Structure 1
């Protein structure tokens, strides 16, 4: 790495390619870190986690016990071995705690002073982080499976909410009211996700096997419905028309640039779609085990080349190459099913939570071969030679500046 830095300063290597190559190397080296623990607070399975984007320091978790926990991920001890402490907890003793399972938690994208949670107690709560009291409570007719705030919105402050009711609810944080519904699904809405590229574009997934993409400025319905057969009626003859999966669709995730949308379903399939056209890219990920009856939280890496997908798969986390479908590795460490995982783009780390009540930290490990390669690169840079690591030569040459 020191050799890469020297070559970059000398103008021998492109900084962006260097960053992508190093991010890729770190992701490929993810291992369960024995020196980093996360406080075990939940008394039941962990359904959802989220890392705030402002400092990348604090993590939220929500569990089947209704408890919400805030963790400090920073190593304040200065020692190699440390525990990410739970700094705040909305526990069972709090009068404001959710009565039933917390299904989704999310930081407010622009400020750590606020976060939002939703639950099977048919409520979504907007919390003041300082006081750990809800500033606003939205009540619904059925269980809330998922909610999402846009990470880039400047012209609206809408929260999309998926419930047992097929209608998607749009709640306005400024007015504190539900201002609009999106109609089109015929079963409960299990996952909702705003595009990270266009602030008015929303994707929704339902138990009716369909995924719809909406422009919330339009009142006439969805932009399009994803079709796994790309309009080929002969292939869809024996199946429902315009379905994204042959089962419940319970997972949605945009890539970091918003150009692609990933979906998972109980048909044990994961699909990659062009988010602009709705075209199925036909990437084959093989069998992706998915027995969850509700939302499944999976994530995509950022800043790598190629990008990777991290998907809960039984008691493991499966890591796939995004555009080829290759299974890169299986991260094993949980004692029960994994329900959620979240990627930390600043440090290329992964956190996963499961029914074993544990949150595990997967940290890049520097291999002996990497240390030797860095030593060689340092010597090459000192001699004025290019220090491109051959392991990343192909990836770098395929990058766009």
Structure 2
């Protein structure tokens, strides 16, 4: 433990590793050595999931194609390696507050366990009270809502970015309960939005018009810049007025944990890594990354590992790529139908995936014994990384 503390003190180690080490010790003290789990959530495909990161609540939100929202308590109270997650809250079809169509995105409020946000194809976004499971606020839109996102680091604003069938990016203020601003520039529906984890005012949006735009919400004059896959080389670019990030619809966005890089996915079966500060294409070659989704593709990036990885739904499996190398390092198989979404818990190094087989799978590498880790502390922290663990597996409850 002293090695982790000293490394954090001099700034040479990721703070997440220290936090994860503390959590692992707590779990081992409680004899909670969870290996894997699988929980059925609803009767229709799982479309979206979101994990609660803070210490106060270890839980997961899931949204389904039938409009149902379920909250799962992921804590292991049994002390057994395999256990069943309990649903501690459900907004079912019988509830008059439930979404009428598919729930496309769910997200915990970043700073308070008492609230979460959901958006749906029924053209609404709802802000929920976790205790009562009733909407405290509802926002109506003119078209289907494909995505929404709230900044995980914002202290000066409470804005939710919303992507709809309308090419105008909507900004909703939770404090006033109203739509306060629109960002114009896209020419087709907005399929994915993400706030930077590094700067609370920086926002990225991806559209079916093949473009990705970076915004500073303090500016009203337009986007900061548009990502260009050719890095300004006009000889390679098509004769278009607008730079394009992909040669097809861009339906996936994800920032790296430190916010220095942005990863995009397009229906041209390409994944690209960009420098988020200047929009430069880093030209990392991931090869062909199959992407047949007509809606937003919900992929994720690991955080706090010795090697950061990208987890991408690919048919009924999940492809794991090295973030900076572009190498396909693993393929996770366990679902019986297409995988729709995935989310990564940086503290416990757990990957959760949901799909059309109506299941949520947890992919958890085997934990090393505490005494083994203690012996290796002299040479630095041990990173539990899915790219180098053969023990990643999933089993049915």
TM category (shorter chain) comes to 0.7 to 0.9
Aligned partner of residue 77 in structure 2, secondary structure:
coil
Partner Cα distance (1:166, 1:10) in 2: 49
Task: Provide Cα deviations, 1:285-315, integer angstroms capped at 9, x if missing partner.
Answer: 1111100000111111111122111111111
- 1:41 is matched with which residue? 41
1:16 aligns with 2:13: yes
Partner Cα distance (2:175, 2:18) in 1: 42
- 2:308 is matched with which residue? 307
The alpha-carbon distance between structure 1 residues 362 and 221, as it changes in their structure 2 partners (threshold 3 A), is same
Cα shift at 1:237: 3.2
1:276 aligns with 2:273: no
Partner Cα distance (2:6, 2:110) in 1: 37
Partner Cα distance (2:344, 2:270) in 1: 21
Contact 2:41 2:360 in 1 (8 A): no
- 2:388 is matched with which residue? none
Partner Cα distance (2:133, 2:383) in 1: 48
Partner Cα distance (2:307, 2:38) in 1: 29
Partner Cα distance (2:198, 2:16) in 1: 22
- 2:233 is matched with which residue? 232
Cα shift at 1:18: 11
The alpha-carbon distance between structure 1 residues 388 and 223, as it changes in their structure 2 partners (threshold 3 A), is closer
For structure 1, which runs of at least 5 residues remain unmatched after alignment? 25-32, 393-401
Contact 1:21 1:305 in 2 (8 A): no
Contact 2:35 2:365 in 1 (8 A): no
- 1:155 is matched with which residue? 156
Contact 1:39 1:86 in 2 (8 A): no
Aligned partner of residue 81 in structure 1, secondary structure:
coil
Contact 2:4 2:381 in 1 (8 A): no
The alpha-carbon distance between structure 1 residues 348 and 162, as it changes in their structure 2 partners (threshold 3 A), is same
Aligned partner of residue 13 in structure 2, secondary structure:
helix
Deviates most, 229-238 or 61-70? 229-238
Cα shift at 1:231: 0.6
Cα shift at 1:240: 7.5
Partner Cα distance (1:289, 1:221) in 2: 32
Contact 1:36 1:83 in 2 (8 A): no
The alpha-carbon distance between structure 1 residues 311 and 240, as it changes in their structure 2 partners (threshold 3 A), is farther
Report which of the two structures shows the higher radius of gyration computed on alpha carbons.
1
Cα shift at 1:388: 6.3
Partner Cα distance (1:330, 1:344) in 2: 19
1:1-400 mapped onto 2 (5 Å cutoff):
16=13, 36-55=36-55, 57-237=58-238, 241-366=242-367, 374=372, 378=375, 387=379
**Could you say what the CA RMSD is over the residues aligned between the two structures, in angstroms?**
2.9
Deviates most, 238-247 or 148-157? 238-247
Partner Cα distance (1:356, 1:326) in 2: 28
Cα shift at 1:52: 1.3
Aligned partner of residue 84 in structure 2, secondary structure:
strand
Partner Cα distance (1:8, 1:132) in 2: 40
Task: Provide Cα deviations, 1:38-77, integer angstroms capped at 9, x if missing partner.
Answer: 4313111111100112225010011111000000000011
The alpha-carbon distance between structure 1 residues 35 and 387, as it changes in their structure 2 partners (threshold 3 A), is closer
Shift >6 Å, 4+ stretches: 6-11, 21-24, 388-392
Partner Cα distance (2:171, 2:382) in 1: 50
Contact 1:72 1:86 in 2 (8 A): yes
Partner Cα distance (1:292, 1:127) in 2: 28
Aligned partner of residue 166 in structure 2, secondary structure:
coil
Contact 1:35 1:82 in 2 (8 A): no
Q: State TM-score, norm by structure 2.
A: 0.86
- 1:397 is matched with which residue? none
Partner Cα distance (2:196, 2:382) in 1: 35
**Aligned length, in residue pairs:** 369
Partner Cα distance (1:305, 1:217) in 2: 35
Partner Cα distance (2:157, 2:4) in 1: 41
Partner Cα distance (2:54, 2:44) in 1: 29
Cα shift at 1:36: 3.7
- 2:393 is matched with which residue? none
Q: State TM-score, norm by structure 1.
A: 0.85
Contact 2:16 2:346 in 1 (8 A): no
Cα shift at 1:80: 1.9
